A and B are shown apart, each in its own frame.
Chain A
Amino acid sequence: MDKFLQLTLTGLTNGAIFALVALGFVLIYKASDVINFAQGDFLLVGAYLTFGLISQVGLPWSVGMLIAIVVAVLLGIVVERLVLRPLIGEPIISVIMVTIGLSSLLRSVVIWIWGTMGAQFPSFLPSQPINVFGAVVPADRFIAIGLAAVLLVVFTLFFRYSREGIAMRATADDQQAALSMGISVQKIFAIAWSIAAVTAVLAGIIVANITELSFFAVSSIGLHVFPVVILGGLDSIPGAIIGGLIIGLLESYVGGYTPSALALRTVFPFIVLIIILMIKPYGLFGEERIERV
């Protein structure tokens, strides 16, 4: 029983981190219909940049984290200016290909500056163990869950009630019609990419805090974004959260109850992904294509 509880809690926290990354992905998809292959790489940027600012430059952690968030916002704006704006009106697939290029670019920059070697991350989040019904979980893992929950509520309200949020969904639905409303598509894209980058950077910082700073560990979390969003539905915010938690739990249980030599843990999310695609092609909560009959 203890093992089960332990695995559940580990799964939920990992899932919350996946959900954070997926949230940004969904946001970009909702605003622009673009599948952002670079989403996982924002994680790397966040983790390494924060590490660099705190451990190498010697800034206090609060300042380092703040700068990392500001850089994420700027990154979103720069991507819109240099990458997306020239491609307005071009087929979506061109933009998607560009995000693959962006992904390589971000990775290369991180490797160029910091290399791929692991490093000790200056863990500033409190990590004292908390005892939950016999299972022991470090406090920083709860921060991940809490942050995911808060962002879920904030984003849901934002998209349902705020004018900017509605404008974002309108832009995703029909860019030209959105333009005719006087909605600035450029501004909407910049906002979406900035928020997406910020959530990913936050997730990257939390990951590095919980485990350690390792290029491969962080980028493998980025890879999970695809099974998560396809499971939850590409354009669903609750889907990103629930998809994240499901994948996190599955991975944790499979890893805990099967011999680790089989390495089922890493394959399993993708097996689930294929099954989901066969049964529900739009994911659990995805928007179906509307066809009037």
Chain B
Amino acid sequence: MLALNNVEVIYNDVILVLKGMSLEVPQGKIVALLGSNGAGKSTTLKAISGLLKPEDGEVTDGEILFEGEKIHELEAANVVRRGIFQVMEGRRVFEHLDVEQNLIAGSYTRSDRQNVRQDIDVVYEYFPRLKERRRQTAGYLSGGEQQMLAIGRALMARPKLMMLDEPSLGLAPLLVREIFSIIRRINQEQGTTILLVEQNARIALDVADYAYIMENGRIVLTGEPAQLRDNADVREFYLGLNEVGTRKSYRDVKHYKRRKRWLS
């Protein structure tokens, strides 16, 4: 459904952030994109959704295909119209609008206005807490409620592909579970394909059908969650697991070398 082929992104004409990034998101699946800070995960999403331009970023090489058509030269508004919706990092709800107005803003590109009302109810069904707070100013909602609103707002656009940028950011572990189970439900019930960017590798691997790990602007590892969970590097660097009871060995000392191999 979505394919990135050797995408290169440069900020301010000099800073090379994505260095030949390739990735594929099949229809109806949840794909996770993992990586440490500064790996280029958010840049990847912005390259897809057309939000690089306001930040002086540019796709300089490679191509981004959505349903077989090139989309990396489209304006952000047209990308949304094609059916790709990005839920930005840090929730970014419209603080001075109330909950329902935020949802209406999410439906901005819809041409079937008569169904908007009905879709607001669908969102309330997924997030009953938003219904209780429908007339409240979004800026005063709790972090978890704001994340729910951000996802609900994305649902209002009825996207084919929803891209979530760190939905777990700053949320309590229980709430993270709740939100991820709803993401799963949305994927199954609405048939929405999901591309998920996460720092929290554990929960992302639980929910995803397939995962990519990126370092320094390109993909370094791919596989199904089960495979990745067994990978020694992933266990150590992303899941924080260590071989329990083993003595500090030559392997531990060579950490940095393994990491370096990824980076090069």
Interface residues of A (CB under 8 A from B): 88-89, 163, 166-167, 169-170, 172-184, 287, 290, 292
Whether B77 lies near A166 (C-beta < 8 A) is no
Q: How far is the CB of A56 from chain B (nearest CB, A)?
A: 43
Does B10 interact with chain A (Cβ within 8 Å)?
no
**B54 contacts A292, CB within 8 Å?**
no
CA distance A89 to B79 in the complex (A): 19
Contact indicator B105/A176 (Cβ below 8 Å): no
A174: B residues at CB distance < 8 A = 92, 94-95
A290 touches B137 (CB 8 A): yes
Q: Is the CB of B97 within 8 A of A170?
A: yes
Interface size class of B (residues with CB under 8 A): 35 or more
Q: Name the B residues within 8 Å of A292 (CB-CB).
A: 139-140, 142
Q: Mark B105-116, 1 if CB is under 8 A from A, else 0.
A: 111110001000
A238 to chain B, nearest CB (A): 15
Q: With contacts A89-B55, A166-B104 known, is A181 near B97, CB below 8 A?
A: no
The answer to whether the Cβ of B80 comes within 8 Å of any Cβ in the partner chain is yes
> Of the candidates B53, B78, B142, B157, which one forms a contact with A181 in the assembled complex, judged by CB atoms under 8 Å apart?
B157
Given A166-B105, A180-B85, residue A173 in contact with residue B51 (CB < 8 A):
no
Whether A179 touches B140, Cβ cut-off 8 Å, given contacts A166-B101, A167-B105, A173-B97, is no
- Judge if B218 is at the interface, Cβ distance under 8 Å: no
Chain B nearest Cβ from A41, distance in angstroms: 29
Contacts of A183 in B (CB 8 A): 77, 105, 108
Q: Which residues does chain A contribute within 8 Å of B94, judged by CB atoms?
A: 169-170, 173-174, 177-178
Taking the closest CB of chain B, its distance from the CB of A25, in whole angstroms, is 18
Q: Which residues of A contact B55 (CB under 8 A)?
A: 89
Q: Decide: B77 and A184 in contact? CB cutoff 8 A.
A: yes
A–B complex contacts, Cβ < 8 Å, 17 sampled? A163-B104, A166-B105, A169-B101, A170-B101, A176-B54, A177-B93, A180-B80, A180-B86, A181-B105, A182-B78, A182-B85, A182-B108, A183-B77, A290-B139, A290-B140, A292-B140, A292-B142
Which residues of A lie under 8 Å from residue B75 when comparing CB positions? Answer: 184
Chain A residue numbers with a CB within 8 Å of B1 are: none
A180, B51: Cβ atoms closer than 8 Å:
yes
Is there an interface contact between A163 and B140, defined as CB atoms closer than 8 Å?
no
CB of A173 within 8 A of CB of B104, answer no
Q: Is the CB of A88 within 8 A of B54?
A: yes
Report whether B157 and A177 are in contact in the complex, using a CB–CB cutoff of 8 Å. Answer: no
Residue among A169, A177, A292 facing the most chain B CB atoms (10 A cut-off): A177
The residue from B77, B92, B113 contacting A182, defined by CB atoms under 8 A apart: B77
Q: How far is the CA of A172 from the CA of B49 in the complex (A)?
A: 21
Nearest Cβ in chain B — how far from A205, in angstroms?
A: 33
A179 proximity list for chain B (CB < 8 A): 51, 54, 76-77
B-side contacts of A166, CB under 8 Å: 97, 101, 104-105
For residue B259, CB closer than 8 A to chain A, the reply is: no
Asked if A181 meets B96 with Cβ closer than 8 Å, knowing A89-B55, A163-B104, A175-B54, the reply is no
Cβ of B105 and Cβ of A178 under 8 Å apart? yes
Question: Is B184 interfacial (CB-CB < 8 Å)?
Answer: no
In B54-110, which residues have CB < 8 Å from any A CB?
54-56, 75-81, 85-86, 88, 92-97, 101-102, 104-109
**Smallest beta-carbon distance A33→chain B, Å:** 11
10 closest pairs, A vs B, by CB?
Answer: A182-B80, A290-B139, A182-B109, A177-B92, A89-B54, A173-B94, A170-B105, A182-B77, A170-B94, A179-B76
Instruction: Return B89 CB to nearest CB of chain A, in Å.
Output: 11
Which residues of chain B are within 8 angstroms of A170 by Cβ–Cβ distance?
94, 97, 101-102, 105
Rounded to whole Å, the gap between the CB of A246 and the closest CB of chain B is 24
Contact string against A for B residues 194-206, beta-carbon threshold 8 Å, 1 for contact and 0 otherwise: 0000000000000
